[in-house]
Amino acid sequence: MRRALLVVPLLLLPGALAGCSGDDPDGSTSGDSPHGETSPAVAAWNPCDDVGPEEVGALLGAEVTEEDGEPGAMRCTYLPVEEGGATLDVNYLWFDGSFADAWETIGDDIAGRVHDVDVPTADAARTVVQVTDDAVVVSGFVQTGGLIESVNAIVLDPGERDRVVRATEGLLRLLSERAPARAGG
């Protein structure tokens, strides 16, 4: 019997924005980028802006390409070049509460092993690892100031568990280190 894999949905958080949104937490669009630049035509910030496919490929030990969508339909996904490789998808939201508040909204719906991750530049970070006979799913979360970023990684080879966990944790570190200035305050 196959067990269903659950990708922990970051968007369960109350007041959360649909992933990769550039709107302010109150729902307004200010025209300010998270990097402090002001422009009436500023496109939404995208985590892919700060972490290139070469870096993610180095974390995985396998080449990936980047899919970052387009203005109005932002996306941040790193896709394997070789068939069967890991895929990593990154989302974010601006959140006024603590990591504990955010985590509490997910509650008991979490399937998998939960681990705290040491990320020196973050307020908190955690992963959830699920392994079945058919796949490994790693969901990682990192909060840096008012920014929570999530990484959902999947690979169809359960033997790749350790590598995908290390890559997810490494990506959480990079995302926190490079969090936009708005995240700090």
Per residue in 37-91, pLDDT tens?
Answer: 333 223 478 999 999 999 999 999 999 999 998 877 889 999 999 999 999 999 9
Task: Give the global pTM.
Answer: 0.79
Range of the domain at 91: 30-184
Q: What are the φ/ψ torsions at residue 57 (nearest 5 degrees)?
A: -60, -40
- Is residue 85 situated within a structural domain? yes
- Which CB contacts under 8 angstroms, 24+ apart, belong to 14-22? 14/105, 15/95, 16/93, 16/95, 17/93, 17/94, 19/74, 19/91, 19/92, 19/93, 20/44, 20/46, 20/47, 20/69, 20/74, 20/75, 20/76, 20/90, 20/91, 20/92, 21/74, 21/93, 22/74
**165-185 pLDDT, tens per residue?**
999 999 999 999 999 876 654
Note the pLDDT of residue 26: 36
Q: According to the per-residue pLDDT averaged within each range, which of 20-34, 92-106, 164-178 is highest?
A: 164-178
Residue 157 lies in a domain: yes
E strands, 33-116, are 64-70, 73-80, 87-94, 113-116
Answer whether residue 95 is part of any domain: yes
Residue 20 maps to a domain: no
Predicted pLDDT at 9: 45
pLDDT of residue 21: 40
| Residue 67, helix vs strand vs coil | strand
Residue 23 lies in a domain: no
Dihedral sign computed on CA atoms, order 8, 10, 13, 15: negative
Identify whether 174 is part of a domain: yes
The strand order across the sheet containing 87-94 reads 64-70, 73-80, 87-94, 147-155, 136-144, 124-131, 113-116
Helix axes 161-177, 53-60, angle to 10 degrees: 140
Residue 4 included in any domain: no
Domain at 89, CATH number: 3.40.1000
Domain tally for the chain?
1
* pLDDT given for residue 181 in this prediction: 74
| Share of residues in the chain with pLDDT > 70 (%) | 73
- Asked if residue 2 is part of any domain, the answer here is no
Lowest model confidence (mean pLDDT) among 108-112, 159-163, 166-170? 108-112
